[in-house]
């Protein structure tokens, strides 16, 4: 049973800080295919941003077009994208994106570095974009970035996060991601914040997106699971990190998280060996060890196809 939904963000969040070597289009498609074969629920193919700012995302349009044109590829996986502005949204619709993700940072400093806009300025634009996407029939997820703390501003007042969530709900948007952009979250904080959100917004569908900057990513996932969260964003190999935060560090590793779920008898329909395949390929491509744990303990020849 798909009681837990995995949104794989390695192709976007995992690759966006990689500046030394640009992953070729053909390689990205190969990795996407492998993750689709794994039966991941949602795959974030990339972001529609200016290639000068994030060179690794320059091929996002072409990846979507490949899967749009090759309809014979069997998949149960929804293909999502991240957009920051109206132009990106238009590109996504044209390229064939199936789900749109967009968000606002609870940190004004991070917001300005990431989008060139204040939190308040970005909020109005994101809500209007989300409503336009929903009007056109697309699934939409909005986020509160730096929800658990900011590398520049430190602690973020909880009410600032709650008020953003309330603004989203007032606009009719109920799928909301809480992103730990700077990796400052800790389990007790996760429990407290999720409990409060549930108390004033029981109808909201929360997604949790944790980074492992200080080693607490999996512990935070456990706290979120205990709080009843069913949607998680993770990245193969534990890759990634926001290029516009103070200390960029990887996401919770998808195969590590899936391994935990399967030890608990959950999400046994996901083929974790396919995710591990992707991580092994990425390790070879970048010629370095990645942050994930499981793939370092697994024999590639016996585990992966």
| 83 within 8 A of 65, measured Cβ to Cβ | no
Annotated catalytic residue 242: yes
Q: Is the dihedral of CA 234, 48, 27, 55 positive or negative?
A: negative
Q: At what angle do helices 187-200 and 158-170 cross, to 10 degrees?
A: 40
Range with lowest mean pLDDT among 20-24, 105-109, 141-145, 191-195: 105-109
Range with lowest mean pLDDT among 20-34, 62-76, 238-252, 288-302: 238-252
Q: How confident is the model at residue 8 (pLDDT cuts 50, 70, 90)?
A: very high
> What percentage of the chain has pLDDT greater than the value 90?
80
The phi, psi pair for 104, rounded to 5°, reads: -135, 140
pTM: 0.94
pLDDT at 246 over 70: no
What's the pLDDT at 110? 74
Q: How confident is the model at residue 300 (pLDDT cuts 50, 70, 90)?
A: low
Spell out the domain ranges in the chain.
5-303
Higher pLDDT, 119 or 297: 297
pLDDT at 303 over 70: no
The domain over range 5-303 is classified in CATH as 3.20.20.70: yes
What's the pLDDT at 204? 95
What's the pLDDT at 299? 66
**∠ CA 160-163-167, rounded to 5°:** 140
Mean pLDDT of 236-244: 78
Give me the residues paired with residue 234 across strands: 8
Backbone Cα Rg of the chain: 18
Residues 101, 242, 253, 304: which is the catalytic one?
242
Each residue's pLDDT tens digit, 183-233: 999 999 999 999 999 999 999 999 999 999 899 999 999 999 999 999 999
Each residue's pLDDT tens digit, 33-92: 999 999 999 999 999 998 888 899 999 999 999 999 998 898 999 999 999 999 999 999
What's the pLDDT at 273? 96
**Dist CA 60 CA 101 (whole Å):** 14
The phi, psi pair for 36, rounded to 5°, reads: -65, -40
């Amino acid at each position: 049973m798909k009681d837990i939904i995995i949104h794989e963000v390695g192709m976007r969040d995992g690759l966006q800080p990689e500046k030394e070597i640009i992953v070729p289009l053909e390689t990205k498609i190969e990795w996407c295919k492998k993750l689709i074969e794994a039966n991941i629920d949602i795959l974030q193919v990339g972001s529609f941003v200016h290639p000068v700012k994030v060179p690794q995302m320059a091929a996002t349009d072409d990846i979507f077009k490949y899967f749009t044109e090759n309809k014979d590829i069997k998949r149960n996986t929804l293909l999502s994208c991240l957009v920051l502005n109206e132009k990106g949204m238009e590109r996504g619709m044209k390229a064939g994106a199936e789900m749109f993700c967009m968000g606002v940072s609870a940190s004004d400093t991070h917001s300005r570095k990431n989008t060139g806009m204040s939190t308040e300025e970005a909020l109005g634009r994101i809500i209007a974009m989300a409503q336009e996407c929903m009007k056109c029939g697309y699934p939409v997820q909005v986020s509160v970035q730096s929800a658990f703390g900011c590398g520049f501003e430190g602690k973020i007042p909880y009410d600032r996060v709650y008020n953003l969530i309330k603004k989203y709900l007032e606009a009719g948007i109920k799928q909301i991601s809480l992103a730990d952009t700077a990796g400052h979250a800790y389990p007790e904080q996760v429990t407290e914040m999720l409990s409060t959100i549930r108390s004033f917004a029981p109808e909201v569908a929360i997604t949790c997106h944790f980074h492992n900057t200080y080693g607490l990513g999996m512990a935070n996932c456990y706290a979120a699971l205990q709080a009843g969260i069913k949607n998680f964003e993770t990245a193969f190999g534990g890759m990634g990190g926001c290029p516009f935060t103070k200390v960029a560090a990887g996401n919770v590793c998808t195969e590590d998280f899936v391994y935990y779920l399967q030890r608990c008898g959950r999400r046994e329909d996901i083929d974790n060996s396919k995710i591990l395949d992707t991580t092994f390929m990425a390790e070879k491509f970048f010629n370095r060890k990645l942050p994930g744990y499981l793939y370092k303990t697994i024999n590639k020849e016996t585990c992966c196809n």
